[in-house]
Structure 1
Amino acid sequence: MSSHNVESCVINASLEKVWNALRSQDFKFWSLVKSVEHAASPSEVGSVRNVTFKDGTVQQYRLLELSEIKHSLTYEIVDSEPAVVFLSAQHTLQVSPVTANNTSFVQWISDYSYDGAEAAVLDAKYKKLEALADLAKALEN
């Protein structure tokens, strides 16, 4: 059994601009992130990056998929200090064009193993909403 969460928003920026901000996976737009260190080529499937948050949390993400066609990337959390309460989590960021006005629809989809982690999943929901708002603020025309 798993827990599924989807957060989304429309960003007043072109698909190309939004995708360029996401594909690097450096999370520069996210106010909660202090730094990101890549162990290999950031766009290489299987590459690992350490994301250090301003609260001191360090998480290691492994890239599972990167699609230039679908404008999406999927990563999983492979390690966290402090430890997370769920066994696994996969996250997908996807960008689609809103053709009527050259804006972008962004979805952040997360699937967590269900280990009694409702509070952690709810916390992640609000952090994703904050990250999407930060992305919109960083990229709006």
Structure 2
Amino acid sequence: MAHVYVSAVIDAPIERVWAIARDFNGHAAWHPFIAESHVEDGFAPDTVGCVRNFVLGNGGHLRERLLALSDVDHSFTYCILESPMPISDYNATFRLTSITEGGGTFVEWQARFDVAPEDEARIKEQVGRATFAEGIVALEAYVATT
């Protein structure tokens, strides 16, 4: 099983970052790879079990289910139901922690998934660097403008 872990610091209070990040369907507003997104069947984007259905800028299509959301822990966990990537059993967690000195926010985004050995390095780079790390940078920029 492959594991990807990315962490960073966003220079904003946790309440501001979480207000944006907790919206499971809000990534289209801040993530540079998301072209469009909607939650299926009219569910609210913070309803555990809801499915977000989205298209990437390159035309790729994904569906992900929200498995857990905690306003206390400032975290959510989700799984991929459909993806153009050659992966299976994908589960990811996005978590924020308040930095007590300075008022910033520590961000952790990690995933575990099965992938064929010949695809592992490429997919880990795609998920870790291109999706998680670039997403955190974009989230910080978005938080700064709201």
TM exceeding 0.5: yes
Cα RMSD between the aligned structures?
1.3
Q: Unmatched 5+ residue regions in structure 2?
A: none
The number of residue pairs the alignment matches comes to: 138
The two structures have a TM-score, normalised by structure 2, of 0.89
* Matched residue SS, 1:41: coil
What SS is found at the alignment partner of 1:109?
Answer: strand
1:131 paired residue number: 135
Deviation at 1:4, TM superposition (A): 1.0
Q: Percent identity?
A: 25
Using the TM superposition, give the Cα deviation of residue 140 of structure 1 relative to its aligned residue in structure 2, in angstroms: 3.2
Rounded to whole Å, the distance in 1 between the matches of 2:126 and 2:8 is 18
The DSSP-based 3-state class of the residue aligned with 1:124 is: helix
Q: Report whether the alignment pairs 1:63 with 2:66.
A: yes
Q: Which of 39, 62, 72 matches 2:75?
A: 72
Contact kept in structure 2, 1:97 and 1:105, CA below 8 Å:
yes
On the 8 A contact 2:4/2:127 being kept in 1, the answer is: no
SS at match of 1:110: strand
CA distance in 2, matches of 1:52, 1:31: 12
Q: Distance in 2 between matches of 1:103 and 1:7?
A: 17
The whole-number CA distance in structure 2 between the counterparts of 1:76 and 1:20 is 21
> Which structure 1 segments of 5+ residues have no match?
none
Which residue number in structure 1 is paired with residue 14 of structure 2?
15
- Aligned partners of 1:114, 1:53: CA distance in 2, in Å? 21
Query: Paired residue for 1:93?
Result: 94
TM-score by length of 1: 0.92
